[in-house]
Structure 1
Amino acid sequence: MSDPQHTKEEPVEETFISHLVELRDRIIRAGASVIVVFIALVYWAPDIFKLLARPLMQNLPADGKMIVTDVTGSFFVPMKVTMLVAFVIALPLVLYQIWAFVAPGLYQHEKKLVAPLVFSSYSLFLCGMAFAYFVVFPTIFRVMAHYNAPLGAEMTTDIDNYLSFVLTMFIAFGVTFEVPIVVVLLARMGVVSIQKLKQIRPYVIVGAFVISAVVTPPDVFSQLILAIPLVILYEAGIIAARLVIGKDGIKNKEAAAE
């Protein structure tokens, strides 16, 4: 006679193992997509780094140069930059693999919400990086060069330190541009009401300046460049939340009437 408890446990174990196998396959596919893009770009690694360094190079003196303090820095830093660019390019494929893994466990209304959420999050993150590259970097480097001139100091930086700085700024502004998504989600899930979001506006403004003071260089212009967009994006999130919740409220009333 077979053991009923043992019979019930086998399907559970098989389901768990099948999920692990699928997760492994999804991770391999996501990693492979990044590697394929990296291989396609690796030939242009020096040019990609030059493109990343352009905002700094344009604000250095005529004979200014970046330096390398590590023996292998001139090779590995452009490789790191190229790998990060490959990850950003392949991120939609990576997100698709994550979506394909979790989608079977979601309800239909959750599936409808995830697709626009992922697309808008990715788009806003790219917008944040673009804002940092085209607006923030030139402004910060111009201000720093202006500070160095009266001191007679030469403005140079190691390429590895420069990479760490721009990555920090990319992440900071990429996350900053996600604020509308966070606000909409909090309101959509009922965690915070729109009225409450309006009430805490003064605290958000103070928090924006505190965050900008921590992340950006210690000058007023750099802090304003991060704090002001953060406040504007928070207001945009409130407006978007009002639109989203308003549409959902109309649909719910119509469904209740039927």
Structure 2
Amino acid sequence: MRAGQDNIDASSAPLIEHLIELRGRLIWALCAFFIAFILCYFLSAHIFDILAQPYLRAARWRHIDLGPAGFNYTSPLGAFTTYLQIAAFGGMFLSFPVAATQLYKFVAPGLYRNERQAFLPFLVASPLLFLLGALLVYFVAMPMLMWFSLGFVRAAASPDEVSVNFLNVMSEYLSTVMALILAFGLVFQMPVVTSLMVRAGMITTQSLVGKRKWAIVLAFVVAAVLTPPDPTSQIALAVPAILLYEVSIITARMIERKQAEQSSDTDPSGERSA
């Protein structure tokens, strides 16, 4: 038994009961996803209008007249499959809190009380950081990417020149948006992951500081892999990643300081000192 900690919740349930409980938790999570999927599908056209705003803003910046049709689909079911993708992506995002809660309820009985209290802030911070990354994509990365892409559009000024037009396909645009949101959302989980690793004793603040130069290089490499091959979106991901690494160092230092204080307040027998 760990000194100064509550015992793990007593449970003599056999494996089959744990599997039954896991099945129930999964059913709740799947039901939440299904409800969110249906809701997002009926709103998929409006959601796509919202997702299209970065493109429309970039076109206005470039003074490009999009005409009556700003987006196209190239197959009979192109728009339908695009709306299904929107519904699936939105359903996963909206149902994540339910899935995370069910996961926490499943593993919580096997954790000490202080471990449960330490785990809850990360459970809350994870979706908030993912949302912050998605907002950065929507307001910064996508407008910059579309502004860069529309910069190659040109009209023929003479019979000897050819015009260059941008055919914006619904499915390809949505795939780009989803890929950027996923990339930024995952990168924005860095403080959560590093904090958990510090609590587990896998890394230290000193090691994070010592690997800062490598982290900067890795940020640009990851940005080049996860984003489209244009410098604007790569910089838009790499710079926040470097800033988040610095935030991770600060968070790790705070965690280690708190752990040191708790260790100094506890005597070897596990009792808190007077």
In the other structure, the counterpart of 2:158 is none
The residue aligned with 2:22 is 23
Alignment of 1:138-149 (within 5 A): 138-149=143-154
Residues 253 and 201 (structure 1), Cα distance of their counterparts in 2 relative to 1, 3 Å cut: same
Superposed displacement of residue 147, structure 1 = 3.0
Contact 1:48–1:78 (CA<8 Å) still a contact in 2? no
- Which of 212, 216, 236 aligns to 1:225? It is 236
Q: Confirm whether residue 160 of structure 1 aligns to residue 159 of structure 2.
A: no
Distance 2:194 2:53 in 1: 34
Higher helix share: 1
Q: TM-score, normalised by structure 2?
A: 0.83
Q: Which residue in the other structure is 2:78 paired with?
A: 73
Alignment partner, residue 127 of structure 1:
132
Counterparts of 2:223 and 2:87 in 1: how far apart (Å)?
A: 28
Matched with 1:33 is 32
Q: Which segment drifts farther, 16-25 or 60-69?
A: 60-69
Structure number with greater CO (CA < 8 Å, separation at least 6) is 2
Shifted more, 208-217 versus 24-33: the winner is 208-217
- 2:196 matched to 1:181? no
Shift of the alpha carbon at 1:140?
0.7
Distance 1:144 1:40 in 2: 33
Equivalent residue of 1:58, what SS? helix
Which ranges of structure 2 fall in alignment gaps of 5 or more residues? 1-11, 156-161
User: After the TM superposition, which segments of 4 or more aligned residues of structure 1 sit over 6 Å from their partners?
Assistant: none
Deviation at 1:76, TM superposition (A): 2.4
Match of 2:225 among 189, 201, 214: 214
Write out per-residue CA displacement over residues 167-219 of structure 1, whole angstroms, 9 at most, x where no aligned residue.
11111100111111122222222212211111110000011111112222333
Which residue in 2 is equivalent to 1:85? 90
Equivalent residue, structure 1, for 2:115: 110
In the other structure, the counterpart of 1:59 is: 58
Alignment of 1:94-105 (within 5 A): 94-105=99-110
Change (3 A) 1:246 1:68: same
Percentage of identical aligned residues: 32
